[in-house]
């Protein structure tokens, strides 16, 4: 299981989700989109040997989105490595440039090039708050989050326990998709498994939150409520 030593930087344009969601009703108290994917099918996507957690995250998001909107697409390990190499210059032969990737760079690649034949229409940065995560999950199927990982969290993962009350040394940084939530916390996928995270812990370790927009998700699930300014979003996406 690999982590990043630091969070890669990004200096390009970033849309803010709050611009398009003013006045929306609160999402329901519980959502669990992850149920559509059999737990045994979540894979490592090479994140057991290289630091491509950002790529594993979008691979898992592709699985969840397509499972809900048609036939599930499962990116292969080789496809994940190819995307990681294309974005970062990682060399599978030598192991050079295995330094992780900035989340916006990965989301831009997903939008412009795609992975396993799947693309998104765009993405935006959300607030690092419980309310924003719930909104991202409810409206768009997932919240793409960047988190810090502490020593106790690795022990809890290995013991199949929820992430709660992180202690010990900071082991590094990670990228995980949140697919569900309830009153006690959220559910993400990491290292090929479902992982529960208590809300206080997620707020403590959260480093970044992003929403991705896929037209097929909105069309199939009907999660385009009155008040979501999709017209302005599409105009802003076209202008980038």
pLDDT for the residue numbered 222: 57
| pLDDT at 110 exceeding the cut of 90 | yes
Say if 132 falls within a structural domain: yes
Where is pLDDT greater, at 91 or 10?
A: 91
Say if 157 falls within a structural domain: yes
| pLDDT, tens only, 181-213 | 999 999 999 999 999 999 999 999 999 999 998
CB atoms within 10 A of CB 215: 15
Burial of 30 from C-beta contacts in 10 A (0-12 / 13-18 / 19+): exposed
Please name which of 92, 72, 97 lies closest in space to residue 81, comparing C-alpha atoms.
Answer: 92
| Separation CA 185–CA 197 (nearest Å) | 5
pLDDT for the residue numbered 240: 73
Per the structure, the count of domains in the chain is 1
Say if 199 falls within a structural domain: yes
CATH of the domain at 183: 3.90.70.10
| Separation CA 83–CA 213 (nearest Å) | 20
Q: Which domain holds residue 78?
A: 17-239
Say if 193 falls within a structural domain: yes
CB 144 within 8 A of CB 177: yes
Say if 11 falls within a structural domain: no
Say if 7 falls within a structural domain: no
Say if 4 falls within a structural domain: no
**Confidence category of residue 217, pLDDT binned at 50, 70, 90:** confident
Say if 152 falls within a structural domain: yes
């Amino acid at each position: 299981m690999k982590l990043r030593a630091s969070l890669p930087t990004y200096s390009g344009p970033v849309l803010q989700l709050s611009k398009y969601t003013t006045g929306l009703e609160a999402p329901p108290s519980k959502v669990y989109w992850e149920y559509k994917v059999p737990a045994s099918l979540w894979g490592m996507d090479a994140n057991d040997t290289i630091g491509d957690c950002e790529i594993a995250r979008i691979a898992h998001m592709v699985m969840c989105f397509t499972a809900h909107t048609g036939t599930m697409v499962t990116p292969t390990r080789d496809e994940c490595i190819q995307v990681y190499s294309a974005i970062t210059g990682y060399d599978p032969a030598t192991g050079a440039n295995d330094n992780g990737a900035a989340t916006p760079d990965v989301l831009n690649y997903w939008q412009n090039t795609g992975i396993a034949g799947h693309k998104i229409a765009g993405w935006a940065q959300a607030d690092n708050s419980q309310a924003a995560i719930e909104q991202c999950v409810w409206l768009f199927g997932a919240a793409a989050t960047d988190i810090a990982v502490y020593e106790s969290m690795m022990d809890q993962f290995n013991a199949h326990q929820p992430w709660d009350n992180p202690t010990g040394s900071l082991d590094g940084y990670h990228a995980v998709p949140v697919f569900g939530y309830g009153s006690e916390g959220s559910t993400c996928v990491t290292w090929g498994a479902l992982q529960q995270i208590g809300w206080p812990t997620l707020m403590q370790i959260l480093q970044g939150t992003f929403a991705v927009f896929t037209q097929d998700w909105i069309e199939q699930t009907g999660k385009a409520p009155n008040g979501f300014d999709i017209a302005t979003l599409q105009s802003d996406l076209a202008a980038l």
